[in-house]
Amino acid sequence: MTTWTGTTTIISTIAAALLWGRFYYVRMRRAGAQLKALQLEYAALLREQQGITFKIKKIDGRYCYTMADGQLFYRLGLTQADIGKTMEDIFPESMHAYIRSIYDRAWAGEQFQYESELKGYTYLNSVMPIKKDGQTVEVIIVGSDITERKKAEKDMQESEDRYRRLVDLSPDAIMVIGNGKLVLANQKAIQYLGDGSLEKLMERPLGTIVHPDYLTRASKHVQQVLERRDVLRPFESVYLRLDGQPFDVEVTASWMQYNGESAVMVIFRDITQRKLEKQQLQESNKLLSQLAHVDGLTGIANRRFFDDMFDKEWELAVHGALPLSVILCDIDYFKAYNDSYGHQEGDTCLRQVAGVLNRLPLANGGVVARYGGEEFIILLPETSLEDAAAIGGMLGDSMMKLAIPHRASRVSSSVTISVGVAAITPTAWADKEVLVRHADTALYEAKQQGRNQMKIYGSESMVKEGV
């Protein structure tokens, strides 16, 4: 019984061992299959990656490639047949020293990155030494294709270089403002602002570049450009040189991106000379205009200026329903004066009479002008007939006080004048020439009645006489 039991136990043990062995065998086969699948997957990943992964070993002092794969590996024109070759077999001789120095660093145990070029490709490599017992036994290098990135960087650098050259060669001054300070300026800006160098100019606070009277507006402009990414139309301002000397500038500004951040590009030019020339031109034009409207002999306004002012004042009187008056006067027996005293004395007489007229107290922009020959005219805006007659009376009194001798006169021993006065409140359909005709009619009547007197158009005496 005991023997049978022992035999059973041995058989059970053997059966269990056989079952366990069978289970272990199946399990190992499955593990092997999984490992092989992982290896295949890993190999596929290496091959399909866009970069390159390779291993190197140092054999007899030369670096040999023991493994390499990846899409970049094949784009470089290499194949699996190149595995086992040395660095000297793969790279051109011009690169041997550089690549050997890289691999020497790696074999010394250093981890780093480096760039290399081969057959038109640029790639960035990450180096990782594999050590055993403190000694490097192989090196794994993983590279990625950065050809397009390097080309983009080169293009960007070339573009930036061209931009900088254009900025430096610009006939206008250019500044770039970022984060509330000056970050770039060309030579023209440095020249205008008188700082000598970009470094010195960049040390200046913006508030010392713009004249205090224009600083608030300049700050608003910068803020507007930044907020709206706007472009400002040219405007005038005043900047300050380093020595504090102001100069006139024409400025425009626009938004730009500088070093990845919002900035304002300011373009300006010195217009001091231009403004001076413009001012001189305006003064010359003003002088020419004055000369064109001044009677050369008497120095008072001429007929042309009177006509211009008459047109303007007539329109104002029409719109405002305001009275407008005219005084027309003529030196009595002036031809006889010239015959008696000569033309030079006649000219002197004309200037003296013009001076009397020019000193009359005329309100509302009244105008005194030489109308022709010995005839003068006075335009009186916003003046009634009565007030105009009062001025005409003052004119007669002033002539008496002037007392210019006139031995050829038939009415006085001194120069006298005849005066005609007229007034009207014009309407839109009225003919403006009627006012001067009325004044001329009154003057004619004064002469007919014996000269040295004033007649008022529309007065009772002229109505009675049928004028």
Mean pLDDT throughout 269-285?
83
Q: How far is CA 65 from the centre of its chain?
A: 62
**What pLDDT score does 10 carry?**
62
Top-level class of domain 293-464: alpha beta
Residue 304 backbone dihedrals phi, psi, to 5 degrees: -65, -45
> What are the tens digits of pLDDT across the range 167-180?
666 778 898 999 88
User: How far apart are the two ends of the chain, measured CA to CA in Å?
Assistant: 178
Can you tell me whether residue 346 is helix, strand or coil? Answer: helix
DSSP 176: E
Mean pLDDT of the chain: 85
223 vs 5, 40, 175, 180, 230, CA distance in Å? Answer: 103, 62, 16, 10, 10
> Which CATH superfamily does the domain covering 170-274 fall into?
PAS domain (3.30.450.20)
**What pLDDT score does 1 carry?**
46
**What pLDDT score does 32 carry?**
60
Whole-angstrom distance, CA of residue 92 vs CA of residue 178: 47
Which region holds residue 373: left if phi is over 0, alpha if psi is between -120 and 50, else beta?
left
Residue 57 backbone dihedrals phi, psi, to 5 degrees: -130, 155
Q: Do domains 170-274 and 293-464 have the same CATH topology?
A: no
> What are the tens digits of pLDDT across the range 348-384?
999 999 999 999 988 888 999 999 899 999 999 999 9
Using an 8 Å Cβ cutoff, are 325 and 388 in contact? yes
**What pLDDT score does 370 carry?**
94
Using an 8 Å Cβ cutoff, are 136 and 129 in contact? yes
Which region holds residue 461: left if phi is over 0, alpha if psi is between -120 and 50, else beta?
alpha
Our answer to whether residue 374 is catalytic in this structure is yes
CA-based Rg of the chain, rounded to a whole angstrom? 53
**What pLDDT score does 248 carry?**
93
Q: Tell the CATH topology of 48-148.
A: Beta-Lactamase (3.30.450)
Mean pLDDT throughout 180-192?
88
Which region holds residue 134: left if phi is over 0, alpha if psi is between -120 and 50, else beta?
left
Which residue, 71, 82, 80, 198, is CA-closest to 145? 71
Which residue, 279, 368, 295, 281, is CA-closest to 327? 368
pLDDT band at 22 (very low <50, low <70, confident <90, very high): low
**What pLDDT score does 260 carry?**
82
Residue 351 in tokens: 């200037």
Range of weakest confidence among 129-138, 277-286, 389-398: 277-286
**Highest-confidence segment of 33-37, 40-44, 119-123, 150-154:** 119-123
Mean pLDDT throughout 111-136?
87
Residue 31 pLDDT exceeds 60: no
Mean pLDDT throughout 424-445?
93
**What pLDDT score does 6 carry?**
55
Range of weakest confidence among 153-157, 213-217, 319-323: 153-157
Residue 6 in tokens: 């022992």
For 236-263, give the DSSP string: EEEEE-TTS-EEEEEEEEEEEEETTEEE
Catalytic residue among 261, 277, 374, 375: 374
Strand partners, 454: 419
Whole-angstrom distance, CA of residue 184 vs CA of residue 408: 85
pTM of the model: 0.45
CA angle 377, 323, 298 (to 5 degrees): 15
**What pLDDT score does 62 carry?**
92
Mean pLDDT throughout 249-266?
89
Domain ranges of the chain: 48-148, 170-274, 293-464
**What pLDDT score does 375 carry?**
95
Mean pLDDT throughout 138-157?
79
Strand partners, 53: 69, 142
Whole-angstrom distance, CA of residue 195 vs CA of residue 191: 7
> What are the tens digits of pLDDT across the range 232-254?
888 899 999 988 899 999 999 99
pLDDT band at 76 (very low <50, low <70, confident <90, very high): confident
Place of tokens 């450009």: 225
Mean pLDDT throughout 52-57?
89
Using an 8 Å Cβ cutoff, are 328 and 433 in contact? no
Which residue, 164, 169, 233, 242, is CA-closest to 202? 242
Can you tell me whether residue 441 is helix, strand or coil? Answer: helix
Mean pLDDT throughout 269-273?
89
Share above pLDDT 70 across residues of the chain, in percent, rounded to a whole number: 83
Range of weakest confidence among 11-15, 208-212, 234-238, 435-439: 11-15
